[in-house]
Amino acid sequence: MITLVVTIVTFIALYLYNTRTFKYWEKKGVKHDKPVAFFGNNKDGVLLRKSKVQITEELYNKYPDEKVVGFFRGTRPELIIRDPKLVKRVLVSDFGSFYNRGFVPNKDVIEPVLRNLFSAEGDLWKMLRIRMSPTFTSGKLKVMFPLIVERAEKLQSRIFKLASNENSIDVKELIARYATDFIGSCGFGLDSDSLNDENSDFRKLGRKIFAPGPIDAVVAVLKDMFPVLCKDLKFFYRLEAEAKELAQNIQKARNYQPIGRNDYVDMMLAIKNQGNVEIESIEKTKPDGKPELVSIQFDDDIFMAQLMVFFAAGFETSSSSSAMTLHLLAYHPEEQAKVQEDIDRVLVKYNNKLSFDAVKEMTYLEMAFKESMRIFPPLGYVSRRCSKNYTFEDLGFTIDEGINVMIPIQGLHMDPKYWDNPEEYRPERFHPDNEHKDIYLPFGNGPRNCVGSRLGLMQAMTGLAAVLSKFTVKPAPESRLRPILDPKSEIAQGIVGGLPLIFYERNPRT
């Protein structure tokens, strides 16, 4: 009898704990689906039936007349922003209230791998952004470009070998290897050969980052359902030891000093050797309202975290977008012909050699690439955590500090209110005369936009130009125009079954 009473009391206590926040959006007059105990509105996410992108896009489409939609991730209220003007406020004009991404449940307990430019919070993020932005200037891109071309030519050679029998090739895996080799060379000064060695250490690392296992999924779910109780669980536990070893080996190979390559590692070593970095705080102010000066040490964990984010961002975003571009061009041969004509026209001017200036002139190729990122943005959403109480004055309610705000990029990119026949693949949408600034967000917007977007664009376009100048792509028998999305995807969108295509060698250009 006592056992039964204890069980009932425990269940009631858990139920009350898990429903204590469920009136949050109702009190503020924000429309939302009815939450259920233990899951909130995230049952499909907890059961790994849908990814965050899919759930966010569904709610975006379900409430077409609302500017915002409420959501409960377990017990945690979140707000989905549907209106482009409000999106711009959150990401740009009112950035001071939304400078955190919200990936760190407790800033006092931060996984070492999360101390990177993408997921870092507050002052650490500001220091990293200030110090790392100079790495991605046009001048630095020109210096890196010969290394990009070298990898693109290896990509051509690999396809010549694979395409000789006209079998299907998983272009997602192929471009991922190209991206891996580029990152190894341009970022780390390592000559990896993932294109020819599918078991290379770098390629294995890429698979580990973007192939979450069952334990990772369970950890993610527990953090969503019980963020306070599970704050000490590490999502990236499986990478931490390997990442630290890689970072130490790279530093040791350079004797812990820049060696004049002017690459990503050189820049980080230079910052690390400066000792403490002093900046004006984004989090703390003096009594007179001016920002305090804070000192941050660029230690080994931060060094390691930057290596991982450079690898992850360069690997996943550009490779998935490049692969999707080839996939969509295979299904739209008339657009593929226009892209190839554009590439051929430019290459003739440059003695049939890829160069920085040549790739910059391939405007139709860039339009095709941007349209692919509209249909399938690598990051289907971005999030921001409210750093102080914030009032949406025109909507008449205030959200509390700590509330996560979701920007549904996939939903905005496919909304017929902003795009004519959004399901159609139409590169002309991105003619230089057209403007889509507030509704086209593959790299985010505002101070926390993607710092390496120009490098990613250049890497992707060079690889695409190298491929399409020599080959025509067509769907394989097993291809699907709309690939199956991986419901276990956490941040970047994943695809089940790859993107199989058939490559045909083109006739030599005249």
335-342 average pLDDT score: 98
Q: Indicate the domain borders of the chain.
A: 2-505
Are 443 and 449 spatial neighbours (Cβ–Cβ below 8 Å)?
A: yes
**% of the chain beyond a pLDDT of 90:** 50
Residue 509 CA to residue 342 CA, distance in Å, equals 12
Between 266 and 204, the more confident residue is: 266
Between 106 and 503, the more confident residue is: 503
Q: Mean pLDDT highest for which of 242-246, 314-318, 339-343, 488-492?
A: 339-343
Tell me what the pLDDT averaged over the chain comes to: 87
CA angle 365, 368, 372 (to 5 degrees): 140
CA angle 214, 311, 113 (to 5 degrees): 60
pLDDT reading at 3 higher than 90? no
2-20 average pLDDT score: 79
* pLDDT tens per residue across span 394-449: 999 999 999 999 999 999 999 999 999 999 999 999 998 888 878 999 999 999 99
485-505 average pLDDT score: 89
pLDDT reading at 109 higher than 70? no
292-304 average pLDDT score: 89
186 in a known ligand binding site:
no
Residue 399 CA to residue 182 CA, distance in Å, equals 43
CA distances from 38 to 15, 76, 193, 476 (A): 7, 11, 47, 44
Structure tokens of 235?
Answer: 């999502």
pLDDT of residue 246: 80
Question: How many Å from the N-terminal Cα to the C-terminal Cα in the chain?
Answer: 90
- CATH topology for 2-505 is Cytochrome p450 (1.10.630)
Are 413 and 350 spatial neighbours (Cβ–Cβ below 8 Å)?
A: no
Bridge partner list, 169: 501
Would you give the DSSP letter of residue 223?
H
Residue 509 CA to residue 457 CA, distance in Å, equals 26
* pLDDT tens per residue across span 158-212: 999 888 777 899 999 899 888 888 887 777 777 666 666 566 556 566 556 655 5
58-81 average pLDDT score: 96
pLDDT of residue 361: 96
* pLDDT tens per residue across span 361-377: 999 999 999 999 999 99
pLDDT reading at 151 higher than 80? yes
**% of the chain beyond a pLDDT of 70:** 88
Between 217 and 476, the more confident residue is: 476
pLDDT of residue 18: 80
pLDDT of residue 510: 45
pLDDT of residue 447: 94
Would you give the DSSP letter of residue 222?
H
Between 110 and 308, the more confident residue is: 308
329-352 average pLDDT score: 97
Are 79 and 404 spatial neighbours (Cβ–Cβ below 8 Å)?
A: yes
- Could you write out the three-class secondary structure of 451-498? CCHHHHHHHHHHHHHHHHCCEEEEECCCCCCCCEECCCCCCECCEECC
pLDDT of residue 329: 98
pLDDT of residue 106: 63
CA distances from 193 to 170, 182, 186, 205, 458 (A): 18, 10, 13, 13, 20
pLDDT reading at 140 higher than 70? yes
Confidence band for 114, pLDDT divided at 50, 70 and 90:
confident
pLDDT of residue 100: 94
CA distances from 335 to 28, 166, 256, 471, 504 (A): 48, 22, 49, 14, 16
451-457 average pLDDT score: 87
pLDDT of residue 169: 93
pLDDT of residue 180: 81
Confidence band for 156, pLDDT divided at 50, 70 and 90:
very high
Confidence band for 48, pLDDT divided at 50, 70 and 90:
confident
Token look-up 């664009």 returns 457
Token look-up 């139709």 returns 364
11-35 average pLDDT score: 90
Confidence band for 147, pLDDT divided at 50, 70 and 90:
confident
Structure tokens of 99?
Answer: 């400078």
Q: Is 108 exposed, middle or buried (0-12, 13-18, 19+ CB in 10 A)?
A: exposed
